[in-house]
Structure 1
Amino acid sequence: MRASLHRRLSLATAALACALLPLSTSAQTAAEQTAPTTTAFERRAAQLPDVVAGNMAYDDYFAPAFRAEVPQSRFAAITGSLIAQYGRALSVESVQSADGRSGTLQLRFEKGTATVRLDVGASADERVTGLLITGFAVDGDNFHRIAADLAGLPGATGFLVAEIDGDAIRTIASANADRQYAVGSTFKLYILNELAAQIATGKRRWSDVVPLSHPSFSSVATANWPKDAPVTLQTLANWMISVSDNGAADTLLHLLGRDAIEARMRAAGHSEPSRNIPFLSTVEAFALKGNNFAVERAAFIGADDKAQRRLIDANADRLTLANVDGVSFTAGPRFIGELEWFASPRDIARLMADLRRRNSAPVMAAMAINNGVGPVAAEPWRYLGYKGGSENGVLSMSLLGQRKSDGKWLVVTASWNNPEANVETDRLVGLVTRLLALAAK
């Protein structure tokens, strides 16, 4: 739900939260043209195991621009997570660079191998300007190992890897695939599905211009935009899916109609639709979770669908962005089992299948803007669409892909809920990336 967290998730899935900074091009110097025995890329690549282990000074290895983007404390947290999951970094293998400054390498850990993109700056000190971990292959990996790793996380987890063939969903691997989980912004796929349906009937067009009518909390694309700024429906859809913009989602929800989205959710095969009725906007959910609506929250949680809808309608003029208590969300998970959007892994698979059956180029394009896992993990896939969701104690990642090898369509989806503590983005990213790698085979 929280776009800021979704954005962090998107960055983490692409780079395990490392940063890739662009390099400026410069002409080769005479010294570079003499082809030294080793290149700047090779020298810095060879030092990477020591950097990961903390045996080399951070400032000596990374350029100021990189350090500004990724402080040493953040880098240490990332490498600590990697070491905890995969053991010590041992050696560098398979170094490849066309220009001696930028390229890829394989970084061998005790339990697997990371694919790393490394960029060395053009300055004389040859400090690194970009480091991107784009994939991880675990030695001897299989679905049973990943299921065990997921089960070992604190809280509740579930996943599904399945092939989609028309209406059929064929399970390849799963655990707790029929359990309902809080899925955060993954709910926005139901809004996308209803938007595509209304466009298919001719009620709307992707090019329709509408006002940005409902600004929301923690919106990446529309933060501080003036209310009622004109935008197209396709722009709203792209923002809602690619950067999980909450203002775009709420604008579309109110435009399309809450009842219509709920009906679309049922039609897409949600196994417990009442969990999401009434289908809350992000502002409504944020407001009800906050300290300003404690009385209304208790009434909402204890009510049936009809009474919940009456409560939302009766407080429509109060459940607004101005009354969202942002401070409430700084201490950890809040009511993630009662006030959220819910789906099982199998529900998400049915939703992905429904979206694919629409054969809508704008829908598929919106889902592919941010594929969630980066270029290396996406390489075996002809198409890869993604939607993630997160808030305190909630993390969900869902992908729809078509394999290059045989053209088959698959869904990979996983959710992790912990009402007691925030969940670790990097850990689920690594596990889902492993699921995707196995699904690609």
Structure 2
Amino acid sequence: MRPPLLRRVALATALASGTPLAAQEAPAPAPEALAVTASSELRQRAEALGAAIAGSIPYDRYFAPSFRAAIPEAAFRQVRDQLTGGLGKPTRLEALVARTPHVADFRLGFERGTAVGQIVVDPAAPHLVTGLRITGSEPREAPEASVQAVVDAIRALPGATGFALARLEDGGPVHLVAHDSATPLAIGSTFKLVILAELVRATAAGERGWDDTVALDGSPLPGGGYTGRPAGTHVSLRELATQMISVSDNSATDILLRALGRDRVEAMLPVIGIRDARGRNTPFLGTLEAFKLKGVEGGALGQRWEAADIDGRRALLDGAVAQAPVSTIPASLFQDRKPIRIATIEWFASADDLLRVMDWLRRNTEGPAGADARAVLSRNPGIAPANAARWDWVGYKGGSEPGVVNMTLLMRARSGGWVAMAASWNNPQAAIDEARFIALINKAAALSAP
């Protein structure tokens, strides 16, 4: 799940897809035959990037007006907080490779990992930054030497955890290693796999087409790429699904949920293997609804949700929740990194449930007809490129909010065999160490490759 109004890119996503902070595209690299040296202005700004990310340099004294117009400071802070929340404080510039005297690729060290990207400075004084793109981030490699050691480390984390690694066979998933894998936990944006599954079912049945379009109707949306688009804009189901899965776009998610129908998405829960289908997952929430339940009136709507049965919750969604303006969600929601009602207002699945979900997606996307869905699922592999390269194909969805993180993977070995892995960590008492968790799942993905 992501905070309202502002697009927030999860650290797990950033491992494989660029965080869109660029306000100016860089020119093409210079020919290799020509030596390129970074200007002193470029090097100075790159050396100060860590301080800019840490917030010790005023935004308007580091970034040019053109950048600030494209990327408001509040949006920059969201990405900055996500990076530092997972990787710790910036430490030093580790590498700078010039493309032109005023454009360079960089590698920036953090306490618990690194980030890579590209920086562009204005050739004219005062040489402010006109472009910045974070193209990837990686936590420090976990020291564990076996999958079992990874599982033991996950078991030792504070709060509740679940993990399962399984070989996918004709009869279903067969555990290779597991820890508390049958207990449902909050999974954050991994719930979006259920919406994808309904789209896969509907397209396979001929009820929908990947290139069918949805006309935006002006309904309120959470933060994302479609929030500011005018009513009447047409967007394809393919584009919405791709954005929902690859960068966890909340606005795309809520549009797709409405287009496919909440009732149909709920009907898919038991079909794809989520055992607690009629419990905490019904009614099946959209992201904006969840934000309202957690944030409006200090959580008063959430209290009503917790006290209601399924019919009462549906009435609440159709009434008070739908009527609450987006502006009533506090801008500070999630800013303090304290978990909010993660045991009651979330989406829930066990590690075993998620193995079954990925197995259903695997079986229902075989052959040419499934190419569209697999392209969506594999757009962001969720793990570091070196670890993904150990596999022939990787599909992924993860999710997080304060106190919650999940990573779920579907992987095909070069030999053709399939493996699925799902891991969750919930801590209602404190924010979790996402970088540590991501490092552990990366290590498990690397170690489990044949």
TM-score (ref. length: structure 2): 0.72
SS at match of 1:335: coil
Report if aligned partners of 1:102, 1:120 keep a CA contact under 8 Å in 2.
yes
What is the identity percentage for the equivalent residue pairs of Structure 1 and Structure 2? 32
Where does residue 284 of structure 1 map in the other structure?
289
Distance 1:6-1:363 versus aligned 2 partners, 3 A rule:
farther
Instruction: Output aligned runs, 1:120-159, within 5 Å.
Output: 137-138=141-142, 141-159=145-163
The answer for unaligned runs of 5 or more in structure 1 is 41-51, 53-57, 93-100, 123-128
User: Which residue pairs with 2:15 in the alignment?
Assistant: 13
Tell me how far apart the structure 2 counterparts of residues 120 and 220 of structure 1 sit (CA, whole Å). 24
For 1:323, which of 322, 325, 328 is the aligned residue? Answer: 325
1:293 deviation in Å?
A: 7.8
What is the 5 A alignment of 1:215-364? 218-273=222-277, 274-292=279-297, 294-303=299-308, 307-313=309-315, 315-320=317-322, 323-324=325-326, 325-327=328-330, 329-330=333-334, 331=336, 332-359=338-365, 360-364=370-374
> Is it true that 1:423 corresponds to 2:426 in the alignment?
no
> 1:379 deviation in Å?
0.8
1:332-362 C-alpha deviation (Å, 9 max, x unpaired) = 2111101111000110010011111112111
Alpha-carbon displacement from aligned partner over 1:189-233 (angstroms, at most 9, x marks no partner): 111101111111111111111123475554322131224421111
Q: Do the aligned partners of 2:280 and 2:347 also contact (CA within 8 Å) in 1? A: yes
1:243 deviates by 1.6
CA distance in 2, matches of 1:102, 1:373: 25
Structure 2 distance, partners of 1:323, 1:25, is 45
**Counterpart Cα distance in 2 of 1:289 and 1:79:** 24
Q: Which residue of 2 aligns with 1:48?
A: none
Measured in 2, the distance between the counterparts of 1:133 and 1:423 equals: 18
**For residue 290 of structure 1, what is the amino acid of its counterpart?**
G
Q: Give the Cα separation in 1 of the matches to 2:84 and 2:281.
A: 38
User: In the superposition, relative to structure 1, how do residues 318 and 392 fare at CA in structure 2: closer, same or farther (>3 Å)?
Assistant: same
Q: Following TM superposition, by how much is the alpha carbon of 1:372 offset from its aligned partner in structure 2, in angstroms?
A: 1.5
Instruction: Identify the range of structure 1 (231-240 vs 160-169) with the bigger mean alpha-carbon deviation.
Output: 160-169
How far does the alpha carbon of each residue in 1:226-249 deviate from its partner, in whole angstroms, 9 at most, with x for none? 244211111111111112122222
| 1:174 Cα deviation from its structure 2 partner | 1.6
For 1:247 and 1:225, the matched residues in 2 are separated by 11
Task: Report the CA distance shift for 1:216/1:412 in structure 2 as closer, same or farther (over 3 A).
Answer: farther
**2:418 is the alignment partner of 1:414:** no
What is the Cα-based RMSD across aligned positions, in Å?
4.8
Match of 1:394 among 393, 404, 408: 404
Residues 134 and 376 of structure 1 are in contact (CA less than 8 Å); yes or no, is this contact kept in structure 2? no
Question: Amino acid of the residue matched to residue 7 of structure 1?
Answer: V
Q: Is the 8 A contact 1:160 1:171 kept in 2?
A: yes
Which secondary structure does the structure 2 equivalent of 1:148 belong to?
helix
Residues in 2 aligned to 1:83 and 1:171: alpha-carbon distance in whole angstroms = 34
Counterpart AA for 1:285:
A
Q: Of 176, 193, 208, which residue of structure 2 is paired with 1:189?
A: 193
C-alpha contact 1:212 1:248 (8 A) present in aligned 2 = no
Deviates more, 1:326-335 or 1:423-432: 326-335
Gaps of 5+ in 2: 39-49, 51-55, 96-102, 122-131
Alignment match, 2:44: none
Kept after mapping to 1: 8 A contact 2:86/2:434 = no
Partner of 2:280, secondary structure, is helix
TM-score by structure 1 length?
Answer: 0.74
Please say if residues 166 and 421 of structure 2, whose CA atoms lie closer than 8 Å, have aligned partners that are also in contact.
Answer: yes
Choose 268-277 or 135-144, whichever is displaced more.
135-144
Check if 1:365 corresponds to 2:375.
Answer: yes
Residue pair 1:169, 1:350 contacting (<8 A) in 2 also: yes
Amino acid corresponding to residue 276 of structure 1 in structure 2: N
Amino acid at match of 1:155: G
Contact 1:12/1:426, CA 8 A, preserved across alignment: no
**CA–CA distance in 1 between the matches of 2:190 and 2:392?**
23
State the distance in 2 between where 1:280 and 1:76 align: 26
CA distance in 2, matches of 1:201, 1:310: 33
| 1:295 Cα deviation from its structure 2 partner | 4.9
C-alpha distance in structure 2 between counterparts of 1:80 and 1:326, whole Å:
22
- What is residue 389 of structure 2 aligned with on the other side? 379
User: Who is 1:45 aligned against?
Assistant: none
Alpha carbons of 1:440 and 1:292: their partners in 2 closer, same or farther (altered >3 Å)?
same
Per the alignment, residue 42 of structure 2 pairs with none
Aligned to 1:2: 2
Q: Is the 8 A contact 1:214 1:251 kept in 2?
A: no
Residue 178 of structure 1 and its aligned partner are, at CA, apart by 0.9
Q: Give the equivalent residue in structure 1 for 2:129.
A: none
Aligned pair in 2 of structure 1 residues 75, 283: CA closer, same or farther (>3 Å)?
closer
Is the contact made by 1:136 and 1:434 (CA closer than 8 Å) also made in structure 2? no
2:139, 2:436 within 8 Å by CA — same for their partners in 1? no
**Partners of 1:251 and 1:374 in 2: CA distance:** 30
Distance 1:214-1:164 versus aligned 2 partners, 3 A rule:
farther
Q: Distance in 1 between matches of 2:161 and 2:310?
A: 28
Q: Relative to 1, partners in 2 of residues 1:177 and 1:216: Cα closer, same or farther, differing over 3 Å?
A: farther
Residues 396 and 384 of structure 1, relative CA distance in 2, 3 Å threshold = same
Map 1:53-72 onto structure 2 (within 5 A).
none
